[in-house]
Structure 1
Amino acid sequence: MNAAALNGDLRMLQWLHENRTEGCSTDAMDFAAEMGHLEVVKWLHENRSEGCTTAAMTYAAEQGHLEVVQWLHQNRSEGCSEHAFGLAAGKGHLEVVQWLDAHHHKGSFGHALRTATMNGHIAVINWLLASIDEERQHEIFTRLALKLAKKSNQWRVIRWLEPQLEPDPSKRQRLLY
């Protein structure tokens, strides 16, 4: 049943449920959520008692399956791990990051900024930096993002961040060191 859930094979899952006795584990719903198989997640929720773990929402967030994340939030109590926010940011799933933030599933801001920057996800970086209230903190995190972008050779991110720290192009060279 776990393998059928992983592959999103609802018909096989139903057949196994009716004709076999082995059952499944929490991995079934965790795998289905990670792979974005919402109908399988719903069926498991309604027809099986094993449930899931925080991995279901965490990995659904990492893979950008916003509808699955939302459904799990509304229908299950496990929630997600503190890593979901950073994992979604690192994969560039801006809508998932925004949703997690709005629904109090926010993890480490620094980890989210780090993973988004090191993977070159400018839209996520921009949203994270824009969500910082204090000007001084914004500058600190922008400099951190620039440092991380340089470390991971994300030149597109560097070109995008530099003007935010130094509007004068003639003075930007010093930012490279």
Structure 2
Amino acid sequence: MAAHGIQRHVLVLLKVAIWKFSNGSEPIVCLWDAEACSKAAASGHLSILMWLHENGCPWDEKTCHKAAKYGHFKLLEWARDKGCPWDSRTWSSAAKFGHIAILKWAHENGCPWDEETCSSAAQGGQFAILQWAHENGCPWNSWTCRIAARGGHLEILKWARGNGCP
């Protein structure tokens, strides 16, 4: 996925900073916070994320969340292997945007999930993902049905109600 808007701006600044740093001078301007890592993750720039991490740039759960949202599986695997934290937003993003391989991997690797996973799948019209999540013990609540109804996802709404969703 190509970088857009602010993401492109941040990545250009990072590339300039990398060039200046590698040529013996310190960068003049560089965003050096968890947002830099999440922007690199959202854009799928593993090499940028690797450099940021290797040079002490902080990261947080948003890095994994953005990688999952945009389907950057290898980047997510690398970040988790290096100890990047994650939370239930990783699930929700992958569910909403249909990244079943990421969901299955996250499940196998202990990512926490909550009711938002099912409601996000419903919001994205991801029927197969909602079924898989429910069959694998993901909790749901009335928001799953509300969001399915609001989004016009009748098949999801019928299935969820028929399977005990409040």
**TM-score, normalised to structure 2's length?**
0.73
Structure 1 segments (4+ residues) deviating >6 Å: 2-5
- The alpha-carbon distance between structure 1 residues 117 and 103, as it changes in their structure 2 partners (threshold 3 A), is same
Q: 1:66 aligns with which of 69, 73, 76?
A: 73
Which of 3, 8, 16 is the equivalent residue of 1:12? 16
Take 1:71 and 1:21, find their aligned partners in 2: how far apart are those partners?
26
Q: Which residue of 2 aligns with 1:55?
A: 62
Distance 1:158 1:81, change over 3 A: closer
1:21 Cα shift? 3.4
**Counterparts of 2:13 and 2:63, CA distance in 1:** 17
Question: What is the CA-CA distance between 1:28 and the residue it aligns to?
Answer: 2.0
SS in structure 2 at match of 1:83: helix
Tell me which residue corresponds to 1:96. Answer: 102
* 8 A Cα contact 1:61 1:88, kept in partner: yes
Cα shift at 1:57: 1.2
Distance 1:125 1:89, change over 3 A: same
Write out aligned runs for 1:12-161 (5 A). 12-18=16-22, 19-22=25-28, 23-26=30-33, 27-46=35-54, 48-75=55-82, 77-108=83-114, 110-132=115-137, 145=144, 148-158=147-157, 161=159
Residues 151 and 25 of structure 1, relative CA distance in 2, 3 Å threshold: same
1:144 CA displacement = 7.2
Change in 2 beyond 3 A, CA 1:41/1:20: same
Q: Which amino acid aligns with 2:105?
A: W
C-alpha separation in 2, matches of 1:24 and 1:145:
37
Q: How many residues align?
A: 154
Q: Which amino acid aligns with 2:151?
A: S
Percent sequence identity over matched residues? 18
Q: 1:4 to 1:147 in 2, by over 3 A?
A: closer
Change (3 A) 1:21 1:150: closer
Q: CA deviation at 1:85?
A: 1.2
Higher helix share: 1
Please give the TM-score of this superposition, normalised by the length of structure 1: 0.69
What are the Cα deviations for residues 27-56 of structure 1, in whole angstroms up to 9, with x where unaligned? 22221012111111112223x222322211
Q: Give the C-alpha shift of residue 112 in structure 1.
A: 0.7
